[in-house]
Chain A
Amino acid sequence: MSIISISGLTVDLGNQRILEGVDLDIDAGEWVNIIGPNGAGKTTMLRSLLGTVEHTGTIELDGTRPTKPIERARRLAYVPQSSVIPGGMHVGDYVLLGRTPHRGVFGRDSDTDCNIAMDVLTRLDLAEFTMREVGSLSGGERQRVVLARALAQQADIVLLDEPTTALDLGHQQEVLDLVESLRRDRGLTVVATLHDLTLAARYGDRIAVLSGGRIVETGLPSAVLTAATIAEHFGATVRIIDDPDGPVIVPTTGVPQ
């Protein structure tokens, strides 16, 4: 049975239709990458899952429709494309914010909450940063700290919006490898948006192509990432090189030699 079941998802922002009749089922433990050109509605789709944008259509988690933010937050953890970093907050306190759905609006952080946060920090090699201010960290460290907050939430679904933006190649791999190992250990379900198509082919099980507010293709990376599909939806001319780990997308120059 699908852990996430989206059907007929439609979102209007102002007078603009952003998503139109999106259907997508995602299995528990699956990693699905959503790709698509700028403005295709990738982030809006994640926000619909989070309940932060108004939408029509249905989004079910294990066959139920959570209505309150706190119910959703216990199932879904979110890593936004660029997080708001609060001034003066230490890494430890920031990661503890991930415990909010479990302690509620008024509750205190229990020893269990602190232990979970510390566990995650240790796991992500951030233990030494606990007393550093989040704002003083480098881009790569920050991204790991935001991921740590999401993991401290102990939700079984993680939504990642462009988790590798602003990271160099080494840190991109580091973050995605980390997500992959956590997925294996904890059986997380991962839904990510990614701009880098080769990375999208490397990590994850399935790719969904979002274009003009609709899902136009879904399937294995090797099936979806063809030169024709990319030309049609991204307006890009590419060559696909088959590699044992998945297709490699190489842009070719549009100017005739």
Chain B
Amino acid sequence: MTDASAAGTGGEPLRVARLRPGALVAGLVAVLGAMVIGMALGPVDISPKLIVYELLDDLPLIELDSGLSAQRVAIIEQIRLPRVVLGFLVGATLSVSGAAYQGAFRNPLADPYLLGIAAGAGLGATVAITQDWGDGGGFTDPVPLAAFGGALLAVVLSYTAGHVGGRSTASLVLAGVAVASFLTAAQTYVLQANSDAFREVYAWILGRIATSGWSEVVLMVPYFLLAAGIVFRYRRALDVLAVGDEEAQALGLEPRKIRVIVVLAASLGAAAAVSVSGLIGFVGIIVPHAVRLAFGASHRVLIPLSILFGGAFMVLADLAARTIVEPAELPIGVVTAFLGAPFFVLVLRTSRRSVW
């Protein structure tokens, strides 16, 4: 006897949209698989099995001898592990932010850069590079700090301007477009006046997952936890917002308040991701849409799986970026779009779901 029939309906119990164990396992396998492969390949190839042994050995209560030399252990633990972890954090944050923006704005084209984050970060980084604010490295490196400040400035400007034009999501999106254009123009002007910095700025804009030890990871973790945690907590509310503001309010929610909280959390995460890795496009759009098409549109499924698959995708994209033209590196923004677009078209063609 099921609960539903016990209650006298006589029918099947209701199948509710929720994260199924199979999908969760698939996501976790993707993350761990991508990380191990990401650590195994590089100028020095190391057996994935030995990497797993070595990492398990670091856990308490587990004693395993991988037999790797001290030098290779250092490559794994000091160079490759922080890099794949940062790749995961950046990818997970950008895709969960994208999913949150799409849900909050009910717009499939929304991405984390919708409110001018990319342009603001670009301006901040350009100013820091051209004004030669020095290279503090780690926590005091002025470029990521300026990028972060520029990104947040853009979001605040968009929200302020969007509020003036009314309270609809459309006016906020349009304000984002205006703010992005304005900040891009300012960035272009600064760059033209300092054309010797062109290469450096261009390289920053194209994005990269570069680590010096664990400092970028330490920088990124709190923002990832904050953004992913808040968006995850609001996953059911985002499902309700799908019926539009008026009906969501008739169902007892406060749509504007929820949108502000979700969008600000997602923006903070995206700003932090941009400041450590530059402007990596496409991830915030492609990963959430691929997840929707493969697993369903409910945010209860979409949010956790965007975190996992976004992270895995970025680790693999970074692997491609640093191995395809070894020993040089491709800009990761190029790789995400170059590999991501065909993959996405494939998902789009094979999926039978209608998600928008």
- Chain A interface residue count, CB cutoff 8 Å, equals 51
**Chain B 236-255 near chain A by CB (<8 Å), digits 1 or 0:** 11011011101101111110
Determine whether A208 belongs to the interface, using a CB cutoff of 8 Å to chain B: no
Residues of A within 8 A of B292 (CB): 88
Interface-located stretch among B4-12, B116-124, B150-158:
B4-12
Partner of A114, one of B4, B251, B296: B4
The minimal Cβ–Cβ distance linking B55 to chain A, given in whole angstroms, is 35
Q: Does B13 contact A (CB under 8 A)?
A: yes
A174 within 8 A of B: no
Residues 130-146 of A, flagged 1 when their CB comes within 8 A of B and 0 if not, give 11010110000000000
Q: Pick out which of these stretches binds chain B: A91-99, A185-193, A248-256.
A: A91-99
Q: How far is the CA of A205 from the CA of B236 in the complex (A)?
A: 39
Q: How many residue pairs at the A-B interface have CB separations less than 8 Å?
A: 131
Question: Among B35-43, B92-100, B348-356, which stretch is in contact with chain A?
Answer: B348-356
Given A51-B249, A88-B292, A92-B15, A97 and B10 contact (CB-CB distance below 8 Å): no
Contact present for B253 and A69 (CB under 8 Å): yes
Give the distance to chain B from A165, nearest Cβ to Cβ, in Å.
Answer: 16
CB distance from A1 to the nearest CB of B (A): 25
Given A109-B16, A115-B4: A83 and B243 interface contact (C-beta under 8 Å): yes
| Interchain CB contact under 8 A, A114 and B14 | yes
Instruction: Tell which of A25-33, A73-81, A211-219 binds the partner.
Output: A73-81
A88 contacts B14, C-beta separation under 8 Å:
no
Cα distance A85–B242 in the bound complex, in angstroms: 8
The reply to whether A118 and B14 contact each other, CB–CB distance below 8 Å, is yes
Is B141 among interface residues, defined by CB-CB distance under 8 A? Answer: no
Within 8 A of B (CB), among A84-143: 84-90, 92-93, 96-98, 100-101, 103-109, 111, 114-115, 117-119, 121-122, 127, 130-131, 133, 135-136
Chief secondary structure at chain B's binding surface: loop
Complex CA gap A70/B243 in Å reads 16
Q: How far is the CB of B122 from chain A (nearest CB, A)?
A: 33
Whether the Cβ atoms of B240 and A52 lie closer than 8 Å is: no
Whether the Cβ atoms of B14 and A96 lie closer than 8 Å is yes
CB–CB B14/A153 < 8 A: no
> In the complex, which of the residues B7, B252, B297, B354 contacts A72, with contact meaning CB atoms closer than 8 Å?
B252
A176 interface residue, CB < 8 Å from B?
no
Chain A residue numbers with a CB within 8 Å of B240 are: 97, 100
Q: How far is the CA of A72 from the CA of B190 in the complex (A)?
A: 53
Q: Which residues of B contact A105 (CB under 8 A)?
A: 234, 236-237, 253, 258
CA–CA, A78 to B243, complex, Å? 12
Given the complex of chains A and B, what is the CA–CA distance between A114 and B12 in angstroms?
A: 11
Closest Cβ of chain A to B20, distance in Å, is 14
Does B17 sit at the interface, judged by CB under 8 A? Answer: yes
Q: Tell me the complex Cα distance, A108–B251, Å.
A: 15
Residues of chain A contacted by B356 (CB below 8 angstroms): 87-88
A96 to B298: give the CA distance in the assembly, Å.
13
Interface residues of B in 214-269 (CB under 8 A from A): 233-234, 236-237, 239-240, 242-244, 246-247, 249-254, 258
Interface: A220 (CB within 8 A):
no
The 5 closest A-B pairs by CB, nearest first: A73-B252, A88-B297, A86-B242, A101-B252, A84-B244
Q: Jot down 17 A-B pairs with beta carbons below 8 A, ordered by A.
A: A50-B249, A72-B252, A74-B252, A77-B250, A80-B246, A84-B242, A86-B242, A86-B297, A87-B297, A88-B354, A104-B252, A105-B237, A105-B253, A105-B258, A118-B7, A130-B14, A133-B354
